[in-house]
A and B are shown apart, each in its own frame.
Chain A
Amino acid sequence: MQRYSAFSLLREGLSGHRGWRPAWTKAKPKSAYDAVIVGGGGHGLATAYYLAENHGLTRVAVLERGWIGGGNTGRNTTAVRSNYFYPESVALYDLSLRLYEGLSKELNYNVMLSQRGMLIAAHTPAQMEICARIANAMQINGVDGRLMSADEAQRRIPLLNQTEGARFKCLGGVWQGRAGVARHDAVAWGYARAASALGVDIIENCTVKDLTIEAGQITGVETNLGPIRTNRVGLAAAGATPGLAAMAGVRLPIHTYALQAFVSEPVKPILDTVLLYLGTGTYVSQSDKGELVFGGGLDRVPTHGQKGNLPAQETVISGLLEMFPAFAQLKLLRQWAGVVDVVPDSSPVIGPVGPAGLFVNCGWGTGGFKAIPAGGWLLSHLMATGEHHEISRPFDLDRFEHGRLIDEAAGSGIAH
């Protein structure tokens, strides 16, 4: 692997940038692997990297039907945080945030993590009490979180709509200083490059069409590029996971919905945190290029089409204008949608399912970008050892049989 550094940049700058090599190798499928991962999004690529790095397994392939990072990983609004409510969730998402904090160094690839903090803004005394409850839960669970006053919120975000007629005045809220944003493509590309350097095959334009099962054991996958033998398969295919699991007769507690995101034309720096309004459900941050990146709740129509509907757009955009009336002057540059895998308790499903050798890492729904390092860490542990890591154990599919749901939608009141 060609290492990136200030020195390599200088050397290439002086020699006309002719020495850069492709960051990862575009591989062709071999006939057999020790482990196959379906889905070249962040979770699949991170799984491959940690299989090689943490567990020494390098005869590994990542099969991606399109291009890597072309799914939700390349479509999300890149908020990373660990401001969840339940101890199980905080353990999971804070593992992820801690891994993110060291990721650029670990991968020798700048994922542009920017810990600019995130405010979840409340508008009523009752909501402030909920925020206090979340902040307390976060502190008990050992992560940074605190209540923020209306004055401090106004100081940090001067453009907030605090006028007399404002429908949702900000009374303050819960603040996590270590939250922020990271570059989504860089996370996919950084993991791909590091995995490829350790010998993992990353195979694009390779669609898994069927799973081969003999006597209750996974023995391979059928693809458009031919059959591949393996006795370990990890599914990390977001909204496509239910269809893949069905090939092994497994039904998952997932509905698929479109989630939309929006980007405005770029403007001068006006917002240096991530902001979510409980009242409007809209959240927003400003990209390094100056664009406002924003989104909100799901489209309410189950779908597998990567396009959004108009009612959700209206809700999100009117929410943004309620928060920042001045943004009404901005033009929208782009709007798009991803198909997200939504579970009733808004927590992921990680664990073995169906035949021996089959594992899933899915159900991240609207909030799995922040979880990519942890998702990869935990799925690789499962695939390498056959056993749960203690952090993934509560997220096994069996929680639905035992009634031990981890209801983060109700617990932390957050959609993303």
Chain B
Amino acid sequence: MQIFPCPFCGPRDETEFLFAAEAGKTRPEPAPDVSDAVWADYLYGNDAPKGTAREVWVHLTCGEFFVMTRDTTTREVKSCAALPGKAS
């Protein structure tokens, strides 16, 4: 069993987490100027990197999304951080 870190709750069992998306995508705007190809890439395109990856995960237990940096081959977790933005 692997232990993943949640920036809010600390180290927890991997089964409490769910991979959401690759980090770093920005929604292309303004919508009328976005071509189908750019939109499709935003929705579906991935790098599926081998080695270091920055990913958005959710800790299902507390419901928070955060960024985790991992090695996709060794599965070593390098860091985790809350998503940038204002707390509400």
Chain A interface residues (CB < 8 Å from chain B): 239-240, 242-243, 246, 251-256, 300-305, 309-311, 344, 400-402
Contact = CB atoms under 8 A, between A and B. Distances in A.
Contact of B50 (A252, A301, A304, A400): A304
B48 A256 contact: yes
Contacts of B74: 305
A311 B14 contact: yes
Given A251-B45, A255-B48, A301 B19 contact: yes
14 contacts: A256-B48, A301-B75, A302-B53, A302-B55, A302-B72, A303-B73, A304-B50, A305-B72, A305-B75, A309-B1, A311-B1, A311-B14, A400-B40, A401-B39
Given A254-B46, A400-B40, A402-B36, 15 more contacts: A239-B48, A243-B50, A246-B47, A252-B45, A253-B44, A253-B46, A254-B48, A255-B48, A301-B2, A301-B75, A302-B72, A303-B73, A344-B44, A401-B36, A401-B40
B73 to A, nearest CB: 5
Interface string B16-35: 00110000000000000000
A304 B47 contact: no
B41 A251 contact: yes
A229 to B, nearest CB: 27
B43 interface: yes
B61 interface: no
Nearest to A258: B75
A311 B1 CA distance: 7
A311 B17 CA distance: 12
Interface residues of B, number: 26
Contacts of A303: 72-73, 75
A303 B55 CA distance: 12
B79 interface: no
Chain A, interface SS category: mixed
A309 B74 CA distance: 12
A278 to B, nearest CB: 22
A251 B47 contact: yes
B44 to A, nearest CB: 4
Contacts of A243: 48-50
Contacts of A402: 36
B66 to A, nearest CB: 15
B19 A300 contact: yes
A303 B51 CA distance: 9
A344 to B, nearest CB: 6
A305 B73 contact: yes
Contacts of B37: 401
Contacts of A251: 41, 45-47
B88 to A, nearest CB: 29
Contacts of B14: 301, 309, 311
Interface in B46-75: 46-51, 53, 55, 72-75
Q: Which 5 A-B pairs have the closest CB atoms?
A: A253-B44, A251-B45, A242-B48, A304-B50, A401-B36
A322 B41 CA distance: 42
B43 to A, nearest CB: 7
Contacts of B2: 301, 309
Nearest to B44: A253
A396 B14 CA distance: 35
B58 to A, nearest CB: 12
Contacts of B55: 302
A300 B40 contact: no
A404 B44 CA distance: 13
